[in-house]
Structure formats: structure tokens, C-alpha cells
Amino acid sequence: QVRLVESGGGLVQPGSSLRLSCVVSGRPIESYTMAWFRRSPGRERGLVAGITWNSGRTLYTDSVRDRFIISRDNAKNTLWLQMNSLKPEDTAVYYCARGSGGLRDEFNTWGQGTQVTVSS
């Protein structure tokens, strides 16, 4: 069974950086679109960043563009999200997700999430 496990979250001060990792077991990720989503209290889960199977295209939500970088290594079955210049508004549970379609299509396999808290 496919399993996605996120790690790297934590409590950091505004302006700090974090790198989230998602390790996928059970199936290789090389044929899948991968993405990071996040959910904060009172808000729907939304796309943070996505990346195609060959890293040929990436997609970022406006609020993180120029601050976050998504990357992947198919040989390691690993997805990363480098988060820079973190803001309190970035506080959320971050989820790794896998999809069979394009960046704007459905993602149907999810990790358990990792908490990111940005606070002084």
C-alpha cells in the first residue's frame, strides 16, 4: 500500500526557513504528479506547490511564490518543500499529495501532515 510520510515541520520564528520532506513508500513516484497542500484552522485545504513527474513544470500559489521551492528526486522517492522567509500566515498543517493527472487535476493520495508554526 502506498504511504506518504511528511517530516520537517516545527516551530520557527518569522523570517526563518524550513525544509519539509515527503518520503513515499510502496510505489515509485516517478509516474506521478506531486504536490504540497496546507490547511489552517478555518480554511479549506489548498494547494501550496505542485511539480510534474519530470520536474518540467511547477506551480505555486501566489502567497508563497518567490519564497517556497518545490523539488523532487524520483530515485529517492522523495519530495521536498523549501520554505523561506516564513510568515505567521504560513502556519498550517502541510500535506504531501500524489496525483495521476496534471497539476490542476485531482490529488487522491495523501500523507498524514506535518505541523508548521511560525510565531515569535
Predicted local distance difference test score (pLDDT) of residue 43: 87
Q: Which residues of 46-83 are buried (b: 16+ CB within 10 A; e: fewer)?
A: ebbbbbbbeeeebbbeeebeeebbbebebeebbbbbeb
pLDDT at residue 42 tops 90: no
- Can you tell me the distance from the alpha carbon of 6 to that of 27, in angstroms, rounded to the nearest whole number? 16
pLDDT > 70: percent of the chain: 100
Q: How many residues does the chain have?
A: 120
pLDDT in tens, 87-109: 999 999 999 999 999 999 999 99
pLDDT at residue 57 tops 90: yes
Those residues with Cβ within 8 angstroms of residue 114's Cβ, 6 or more apart along the chain or in another chain: 6, 7, 8, 9, 20, 93, 94
